[in-house]
């Protein structure tokens, strides 16, 4: 059975980057609810200007959203996408306990990176969100080799990997459910679901941010989704950056 969602899915055989196409369409006025999937990406982009390998058999999808909210809420949407991704992946795994989330929005299987999320946004002159794009790459069939990094894919867990379009349907339905939940109950349920799959409290973490590194012990997520890091007798809220 196909789970229901309100996205309009467009499928391309190959694209340089689904996020590049969505950004162009967003600037041209495309409404909320578009999802672009490419079976193969030839110039996929990761966070921090990195590249993202996009072989056929993996999922490459970007959603366009236009929430009427201030720009400071954009990080909540990244965490919402990570939680929805975990909602979609966990039921497929023989052992869902190998799934973990790395702040802000990587998905790990057995500690190795299996999916990444690239959130991009454009602001209105008043500081609102004009558009928000959520690009998600999931290693379904293949775990590309990345020097110095451990990568994983769903097929590594012993399951027949889902076809990208079938997985996209489950993912879009999960995003829709989390979006509705947030509209009704606020950000708290997403925050709780992220914490349930995130690092254990007190884990030592180092966060890289604008070339500098802040280290401390994981103290949870703030109400807005910022990472809380305890060090030197104080708790610091880190709004952006990445875990080293």
Ligand X SMILES: O=C(O)CCCC[C@@H]1SC[C@@H]2NC(=O)N[C@@H]21
Ligand Y SMILES: Nc1ncnc2c1ncn2[C@@H]1O[C@H](COP(=O)(O)OP(=O)(O)OP(=O)(O)O)[C@@H](O)[C@H]1O
The residues binding ligand Y (CB under 6 A) are: 46, 50-53, 106, 113, 137, 139, 144, 146, 148-149, 151, 242
Among 35, 63, 101, 118, which residue interacts with ligand X (rule: CB under 6 A)?
A: 118
From CA 65, how far away is CA 43, in angstroms rounded? 23
From CA 142, how far away is CA 153, in angstroms rounded? 6
Q: Does 117 bind ligand X (CB under 6 A)?
A: yes
117 binds, among ligand Y, ligand X, none (CB under 5 to 8 A by kind): ligand X
60 binds, among ligand X, ligand Y, none (CB under 5 to 8 A by kind): ligand X
Q: Which stretch binds ligand X (CB under 6 A): 13-21, 164-172, 180-188, 214-222?
A: 13-21
Whether the Cβ atoms of residue 52 and residue 45 lie closer than 8 Å to each other: yes
Among 34, 35, 39, 44, which residue interacts with ligand X (rule: CB under 6 A)?
A: 44
End-to-end Cα separation, the chain, in angstroms: 40
Q: How does DSSP classify residue 151?
A: B
Whether the Cβ atoms of residue 60 and residue 137 lie closer than 8 Å to each other: yes
Whether the Cβ atoms of residue 172 and residue 90 lie closer than 8 Å to each other: no
Shortest Å, Cβ 11 to ligand X: 13
Give the nearest residue (CB) to ligand Y.
53
Beta-strand ranges (E) seen in 81-223 are: 99-102, 106-109, 112-123, 129-138, 204-209, 212-221
Q: Which two tokens stand for residue 58?
A: 């993996």
167 binds, among ligand Y, ligand X, none (CB under 5 to 8 A by kind): none
From CA 183, how far away is CA 238, in angstroms rounded? 25
Taking the least distance from each CB to ligand X, the nearer of 176 and 242 is 242
Q: Does 50 bind ligand X (CB under 6 A)?
A: yes
| Pairing verdict, β 227-231 and 234-238 | antiparallel
Shortest Å, Cβ 43 to ligand X: 7
Taking the least distance from each CB to ligand X, the nearer of 13 and 126 is 13
Shortest Å, Cβ 220 to ligand Y: 21
Among 116, 161, 164, 241, which residue interacts with ligand X (rule: CB under 6 A)?
A: 116
| Pairing verdict, β 34-45 and 51-54 | antiparallel
Which of 85, 99, 83, 86 has the alpha carbon at shortest distance from 157?
99
Q: Does 139 bind ligand X (CB under 6 A)?
A: no
Shortest Å, Cβ 184 to ligand X: 28
């Amino acid at each position: 059975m196909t789970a229901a969602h309100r996205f309009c899915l467009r499928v391309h055989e190959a694209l340089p980057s689904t996020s590049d196409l969505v950004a162009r369409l967003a600037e041209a006025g495309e409404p909320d609810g578009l999802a672009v999937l490419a079976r193969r990406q030839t110039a996929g982009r990761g966070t921090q200007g990195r590249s993202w390998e996009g072989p056929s058999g993996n999922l490459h999808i970007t959603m366009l959203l236009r929430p009427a909210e201030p720009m400071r809420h954009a990080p909540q949407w990244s965490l919402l996408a990570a939680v929805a991704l975990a909602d979609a992946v966990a039921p497929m795994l023989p052992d869902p306990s190998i799934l973990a989330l790395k702040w802000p929005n990587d998905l790990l299987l057995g500690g190795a990176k299996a999916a990444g999320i690239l959130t991009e946004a454009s602001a209105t002159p008043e500081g609102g969100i004009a558009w928000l794009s959520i690009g998600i790459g999931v290693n379904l069939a293949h775990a590309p080799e990345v020097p110095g990094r451990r990568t994983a894919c769903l097929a590594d867990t012993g399951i027949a990997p889902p076809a990208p379009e079938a997985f996209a349907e489950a993912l879009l339905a999960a995003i829709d459910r989390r979006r509705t939940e947030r509209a009704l109950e606020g950000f708290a349920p997403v925050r709780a679901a992220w914490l349930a799959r995130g690092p254990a409290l007190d884990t030592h973490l180092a966060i890289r941010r604008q070339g500098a590194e802040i280290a401390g012990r994981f103290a949870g997520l703030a109400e807005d989704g910022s990472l809380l890091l305890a060090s030197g007798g104080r708790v610091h809220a880190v709004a952006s950056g990445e875990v080293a």
